[in-house]
Amino acid sequence: MKNYIVTGCAGMIGWRVSELLLSNGAKVIGIDDLNQAYDTRIKVWRLSELKKHPSFEFYEKDITQVDELENLLRAESKSNDFAALIHLAARAGIRQSIIDPRDYYSVNLNGTLNLLEICNELDIKKFVLASTSSVYGHGTASPSNDNRLSEDLRTDTTISPYAASKKAAEVCAYTFHHLYGLDISVLRYFTVYGPAGRPDMSLFRFVQRIFEGWPITVYGDGTQSRDFTYVDDVARGTVASLKQLGFETINLGSGIPIVLSDAIKTIESIIGKKAEIIHKPAHPADVKKTWADNSKAQKTLDWSPQVSFEDGIKSLVKWYEQNQSWARNLKSVS
């Protein structure tokens, strides 16, 4: 049985990655501080799903508290030979990072540094770092590549503290690869969504609010587009990246950008209700379009997305319907 450490296991992606590892017969040590960045009831729900697996162990720990973390993982590594640490814990979310930038750097950069050091000290040879398409910021996509975002583009013009903190973590990880030979996969996820998603993200908010007949807010004119990627596709890609790669940075995105107003229409038609839309000005930290070039993931990980946007939204709506009695109370901004 292989053993893995997953940070951020109570998060949207951490939950699905842990589920996939557990269903493959692995043991997972999950770490999460269950902070209140968004409504914690959904983190507790995801965790309760994971706790149904006998091979899952959970520790409520903060990755910025290096001594506590090291003591825990040192003790755990005496009885477990860890194949990898999958680092998904982060302060996520672009707009909130402008209000609270220090916390983002503390968790996303210093927290990552703590985990890299621990891996090095405990001889855990594989490290997976969750990064983001946001690092592309103002980097200009190449017209010869249909303006898709590919891993070789410049990423030094990030436009939010969140993106900058993730770029800093990527660079920090490379240094550990160079100095200590840690084998590292940096995964740039593109707008992930799915069942038990984050209530601070647009698709979850839209599903909840259209379902309940509450108004939704759209920032900008709705013509912005996102390369929405289904969470189980992302989980599969993350697990595929556990192989030995040296140091690689890989996009995990659907490769199909969807215009926001079309995404809303899809949700309306699946739920069977019209949305009441409030428009607010576009936010300066939001990019206009993301479109993943996912050819490297196909080549390196033999990965390609399997779930269409419509099917992904159907799964999210189905999950919402099944959990509506409590999910309707989850705090989501309009």
Ligand X SMILES: NC(=O)c1ccc[n+]([C@@H]2O[C@H](COP(=O)([O-])OP(=O)(O)OC[C@H]3O[C@@H](n4cnc5c(N)ncnc54)[C@H](O)[C@@H]3O)[C@@H](O)[C@H]2O)c1
Other C-beta atoms within 10 Å of 162: how many?
27
For position 97 contacting ligand X by CB under 6 A, the verdict is no
**By CB under 6 A, which span of 139-147, 189-197, 208-216, 271-279 interacts with ligand X?**
189-197
Are 257 and 226 contacting, i.e. CB atoms less than 8 angstroms apart? Answer: yes
As a dihedral over the C-alpha atoms of residue 165, residue 167, residue 170, residue 176, rounded to 10 degrees, the angle is -70
For position 130 contacting ligand X by CB under 6 A, the verdict is yes
Question: Do the strands 27-32 and 56-60 form a parallel or antiparallel pair, or are they unpaired?
Answer: parallel
Q: How far is the CB of 107 from ligand X (least distance, A)?
A: 4
Catalytic choice (105, 136, 162, 189): 162
Nearer to ligand X, 176 or 190 (CB): 190
For position 237 contacting ligand X by CB under 6 A, the verdict is no
**By CB under 6 A, which span of 145-153, 188-196, 280-288, 303-311 interacts with ligand X?**
188-196
Q: Is the dihedral of CA 169, 76, 120, 190 positive or negative?
A: negative
For position 32 contacting ligand X by CB under 6 A, the verdict is yes
For position 305 contacting ligand X by CB under 6 A, the verdict is no
For position 186 contacting ligand X by CB under 6 A, the verdict is no
Instruction: Give the binding-site size for ligand X (rule: CB under 6 A).
Output: 28
For position 11 contacting ligand X by CB under 6 A, the verdict is yes
Are 242 and 303 contacting, i.e. CB atoms less than 8 angstroms apart? Answer: no
**By CB under 6 A, which span of 83-91, 175-183, 269-277, 278-286 interacts with ligand X?**
83-91
162 is known as an active-site residue:
yes
Query: Three-state DSSP class for 17?
Result: helix
Fill in the amino acid letter for 28: V
Q: How far is the CB of 191 from ligand X (least distance, A)?
A: 5
Q: How far is the CB of 42 from ligand X (least distance, A)?
A: 8
Q: SS in 3 state form for 42-103?
A: HHHHHHHHHCCCCCEEEEECCCCCHHHHHHHHHHHHHHCCEEEEEECCCCCCHHHHHHCHHH
For position 62 contacting ligand X by CB under 6 A, the verdict is yes
**What is the chain's alpha carbon radius of gyration, rounded to the nearest angstrom?**
19
Are 155 and 190 contacting, i.e. CB atoms less than 8 angstroms apart? Answer: no
Cα distance between residue 154 and residue 84, in whole Å:
29
Q: Which of 43, 167, 177, 296: binder of ligand X (CB under 6 A)?
A: 43
Nearer to ligand X, 181 or 193 (CB): 193
Nearer to ligand X, 106 or 304 (CB): 106
Nearer to ligand X, 35 or 142 (CB): 35
Cα distance between residue 64 and residue 122, in whole Å:
18
As a dihedral over the C-alpha atoms of residue 31, residue 302, residue 314, residue 208, rounded to 10 degrees, the angle is 40
Nearer to ligand X, 111 or 237 (CB): 111
Task: Tell me, rounded to whole angstroms, the distance of Cα 269 from its chain centroid.
Answer: 27
Nearer to ligand X, 63 or 207 (CB): 63
Site for ligand X in 195-214 (CB under 6 A): 198
| Active-site residue set | 162
Q: Under the rule (CB under 6 A), what is the footprint of ligand X?
A: 8, 10-14, 31-35, 43, 62-64, 88-92, 107, 111, 130, 132, 189, 191-192, 198
